[in-house]
């Protein structure tokens, strides 16, 4: 079981807004910044959001991140079919002295 | 082009050893911390190990501590993962990922390789 808790699945229809949560504890999300990764089938993960709410160059502004207390969220606005894939949150854990990933959320575009 | 390329995976028997390599290019390798992240078939991502730019700080996941050793050769722009006492549950794709130029706790894994598959089976 992952240190960070993500819903295993999420879904939405094209054009909708979907949010994916990532729940942690004081030693990880409560103390450090959260990054989000997108992984398309059969490919390496790709950085989607860093430092809670920053987008790397090239990532559409439909993707946004936020953090409050010991939880973080990834929001995807104007959902598109190509957004259907897996999403992971990640953060440094001060107690474990290492990185922890959420279990991943599989997003389905209906 | 900024990239990292992993190699060295393959089929290994339980209890065996393998050494993974990651060749970096297109950036100042010696300035960045580096990481290994793995993904078992059909499973999620699991961080394995992190090494600072000057090798002073090394962190390992509990699941591999005492069995895996990360190292780097800045002169050759290369990262390594020596994997000993391999178990069936170590079967995974192993990714090399670039960290950052500051403290490893602030790393952002912004460059990933395509991964190399390690299969531990008798």
Angle (nearest 5°) at CA B9 between B6 and B11: 170
C-alpha to C-alpha distances, B36 to A18, B22, B115, nearest whole angstrom: 30, 9, 10
Q: Chain-wide mean pLDDT for chain B?
A: 97
C-alpha to C-alpha distances, A51 to A83, A95, B42, nearest whole angstrom: 21, 20, 28
Confirm or reject contact between A85 and chain B (CB < 8 A): no
What confidence tier does A1 reach under pLDDT thresholds 50, 70, 90? confident
pLDDT of residue A23: 98
Closest by Cβ to A98, choosing from B47, B108, B112: B47
Angle (nearest 5°) at CA B72 between B71 and B77: 160
pLDDT of residue B105: 86
- Contact residues, chain A, for B60 at CB < 8 Å: 98
Each residue's pLDDT tens digit, A32-41:
999 999 999 9
- Contact residues, chain B, for A100 at CB < 8 Å: 47
Instruction: Show the DSSP H helices in B25-89 as ranges.
Output: none
Spatial distance between the Cα atoms of B40 and B34, rounded to a whole number of angstroms: 20
Each residue's pLDDT tens digit, B43-88:
999 999 999 999 999 999 999 999 999 999 999 999 999 999 999 9
Each residue's pLDDT tens digit, B90-122:
999 999 999 999 888 888 999 999 999 999 999
Each residue's pLDDT tens digit, B7-53:
999 999 999 999 999 999 999 999 999 999 999 999 999 999 999 99
Each residue's pLDDT tens digit, B6-16:
999 999 999 99
pLDDT of residue A5: 97
């Amino acid at each position: 079981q992952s240190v960070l808790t993500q819903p295993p699945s999420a879904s939405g229809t094209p054009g909708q807004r979907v949010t994916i949560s990532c729940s942690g504890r004081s030693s990880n999300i409560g103390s450090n910044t959260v990054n989000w990764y997108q992984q398309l089938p059969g490919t390496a993960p790709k950085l989607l959001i860093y430092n809670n709410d920053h987008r790397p160059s090239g990532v559409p502004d439909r993707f946004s991140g936020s953090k409050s207390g010991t939880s973080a969220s990834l929001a995807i606005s104007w959902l598109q079919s190509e957004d259907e894939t897996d999403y992971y949150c990640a953060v440094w854990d001060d107690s474990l002295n290492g990185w922890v990933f959420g279990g991943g959320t599989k997003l389905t575009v209906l | 082009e900024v990239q990292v390329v992993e190699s060295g995976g393959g089929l290994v028997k339980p209890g065996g050893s393998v050494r993974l390599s990651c060749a970096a290019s297109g950036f100042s390798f010696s300035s960045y911390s580096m990481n290994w992240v793995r993904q078992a078939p059909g499973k999620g991502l699991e961080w394995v190990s992190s090494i600072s730019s000057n090798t002073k700080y090394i962190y390992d996941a509990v699941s591999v501590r005492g069995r895996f050793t990360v190292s780097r050769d800045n002169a050759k722009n290369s990262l390594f993962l020596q994997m000993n006492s391999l178990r069936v549950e170590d079967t995974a794709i192993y990714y090399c990922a670039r960290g950052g130029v500051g403290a490893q706790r602030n790393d952002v894994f912004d460059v990933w390789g395509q991964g190399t598959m390690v299969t531990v089976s008798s």
